[in-house]
């Protein structure tokens, strides 16, 4: 049986789907990955028995009709060439245009909604168009996987998908043997770490503002930023603004890395004050797996990672003052209380979000859809 995975970046497949890909190969499936080349296709090609097909017209940022038409044509060609027994589509354009293309060749699709992305903050007219496309595309899919119940509720309210097609799987799975606690320097200053793209709706400005507030009361506290700007994204901060933050000395900029573990390991708490429409924020799961308390917002996806006061704190979004209060509250905890938060984060990551808990759900879903498709083909052949 051949399974095709389609996403808008090879980075997405490598960082978020690698464990699932490896498990599918181990289960005996032939796996083909398709995405635009961004350097991570070389890593995907190192996975034994996995093929990679580059996509040249699937772009994250272009909204032009012509480019989207070329994307659809390319995905149609992909379905015709690969002829998979099942396609797993991730992110907006593969979910929509991939589902249309798969329909032409009777390829069953599992669409995975990883948050609502720019559609959630777009104009009313554009949101209407996106949901109209979802309504049409999801008529043809077998299942739609959501990473949280809030997104599922939103899609059902817009009648974008029928309830019987929906499945909620909390995240993509986290390798808790790769991300695990490390010994830390108990005498070191408290470090609050932000990890992610430097987008305004990821709460990066609130993080910097909160750092300025806390520095006046607790000058020894440190605030670190790990991530890069996102050129072409209207929500991205500018390099000039980033430089101003660095010069203010309220925050330390660490740049970008492919391996976040050393930085998470040295931190005291991971902070993501996001109001971006997250599916299930990967960095929070990584921080939890490494035994770090989490400070995040009461927004979609983020709130699912924290039990307030138990493994971290939940604050209102777009509120630097509330964020600063939560970080000050963390600073005032005893060492014993901070360690208890750390241990519960690790426990929650293992019990709820680990590969061992999550990946079998995807495998069972894939098997169920393949059985359904096989049964329907047998009925069609008898006719």
Q: Are strands 312-315 and 191-195 parallel, antiparallel or unpaired?
A: unpaired
Please compute the mean of the pLDDT values over residues 188-204 and round it to a whole number. 94
Question: Which residue did the predictor score with more confidence, 199 or 376?
Answer: 199
Q: Is the pLDDT of residue 99 over 70?
A: yes
Q: Is the pLDDT of residue 218 over 80?
A: yes
Please compute the mean of the pLDDT values over residues 165-180 and round it to a whole number. 97
| pLDDT at site 117 | 64
Residue 250 to residue 225: CA distance in whole angstroms: 11
| pLDDT at site 377 | 79
User: Looking at the chain, which runs of residues are DSSP E strands?
Assistant: 2-6, 30-35, 50-54, 86-90, 109-113, 143-146, 166-168, 191-195, 222-226, 252-253, 269-272, 294-297, 312-315
DSSP 199: B
Q: Are strands 2-6 and 30-35 parallel, antiparallel or unpaired?
A: parallel
Residue 235: band (very low, low, confident or very high) from pLDDT cuts 50, 70, 90: confident
Quote the mean pLDDT of the chain. 94
Question: Which residue did the predictor score with more confidence, 10 or 184?
Answer: 10
Please compute the mean of the pLDDT values over residues 43-50 and round it to a whole number. 95
Q: Is the pLDDT of residue 242 over 80?
A: yes
- Using alpha carbons, select from 190, 136, 188, 143 the residue that is nearest to residue 158: 136
Q: Is the pLDDT of residue 335 over 90?
A: yes
Least confident of 309-313, 335-339, 367-371, 374-378: 374-378
Q: Is the pLDDT of residue 334 over 80?
A: yes
| pLDDT at site 65 | 86
Instruction: Give the rounded percent of residues in the chain with a pLDDT score beyond 90.
Output: 86
Question: Which residue did the predictor score with more confidence, 279 or 359?
Answer: 359
Residue 120: band (very low, low, confident or very high) from pLDDT cuts 50, 70, 90: low
| pLDDT at site 261 | 97
Q: Look up the CATH number of domain 191-353.
A: 3.40.50.2000
Range 2-173+356-382: architecture per CATH:
3-Layer(aba) Sandwich (3.40)
pTM: 0.92
Please compute the mean of the pLDDT values over residues 248-269 and round it to a whole number. 95
Residue span(s) of the chain under CATH 3.40.50.2000 come to 2-173+356-382, 191-353
Q: Is the pLDDT of residue 107 over 90?
A: yes
Q: Is the pLDDT of residue 33 over 90?
A: yes
Helix axes 335-348, 282-289, angle to 10 degrees: 120
Beta-carbon contacts of 308 under 8 Å, excluding residues fewer than 6 positions away, are: 314
> 196 to each of 67, 117, 199, 216, 258, how far by Cα in Å?
28, 15, 8, 26, 12
Q: Is the pLDDT of residue 38 over 90?
A: yes
Backbone angles phi, psi at 308, to 5 degrees: -55, 125
């Amino acid at each position: 049986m051949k399974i095709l995975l389609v996403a808008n970046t090879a980075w997405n497949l490598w960082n978020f789907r690698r464990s699932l890909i490896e498990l599918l190969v181990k289960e005996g499936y032939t796996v083909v990955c398709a995405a635009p080349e961004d350097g991570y296709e070389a890593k995907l090609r190192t996975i034994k028995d996995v093929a990679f097909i580059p996509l040249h017209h699937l772009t994250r940022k272009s909204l032009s009709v012509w480019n989207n038409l070329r994307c659809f044509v390319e995905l149609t060609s992909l379905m015709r060439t690969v002829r998979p027994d099942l396609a797993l589509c991730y992110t907006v354009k593969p979910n929509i245009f991939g589902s249309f293309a798969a329909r032409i060749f009777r390829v069953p699709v599992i669409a995975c909604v990883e948050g609502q992305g720019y559609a959630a903050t777009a104009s009313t007219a554009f949101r209407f168009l996106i949901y109209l496309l979802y309504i049409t595309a999801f008529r043809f899919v077998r299942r739609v996987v959501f990473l949280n119940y809030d997104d599922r509720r939103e899609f059902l309210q817009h009648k974008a998908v029928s309830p019987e097609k929906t499945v909620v799987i909390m995240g993509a799975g986290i390798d808790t043997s790769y991300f695990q606690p490390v010994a830390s320097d108990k005498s070191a200053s408290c470090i609050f770490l932000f990890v992610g793209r430097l987008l305004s709706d990821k709460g990066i400005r609130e993080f910097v503002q909160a750092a300025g507030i806390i520095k006046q009361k607790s000058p020894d506290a440190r605030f670190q930023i790990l991530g890069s700007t996102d050129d072409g994204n209207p929500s991205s901060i500018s390099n000039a603004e980033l430089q101003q933050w660095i010069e203010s000395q309220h925050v330390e900029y660490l740049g970008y890395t492919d391996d976040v573990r050393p930085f998470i390991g040295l931190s005291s708490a991971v902070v993501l004050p996001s109001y971006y429409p997250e599916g299930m924020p990967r960095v929070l799961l990584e921080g939890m797996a490494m035994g770090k308390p989490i400070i995040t917002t009461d927004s979609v996806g983020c709130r699912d990672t924290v039990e307030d006061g138990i493994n971290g704190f939940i604050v209102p979004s777009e509120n630097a003052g509330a964020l600063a209060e939560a970080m000050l509250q963390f600073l005032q905890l005893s060492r014993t209380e901070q360690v208890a938060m750390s241990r519960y984060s690790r426990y929650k990551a293992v019990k709820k979000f680990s590969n061992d808990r999550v990946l079998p759900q995807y495998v069972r879903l894939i098997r169920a859809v393949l059985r359904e498709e096989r049964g329907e083909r047998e009925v069609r052949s008898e006719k």
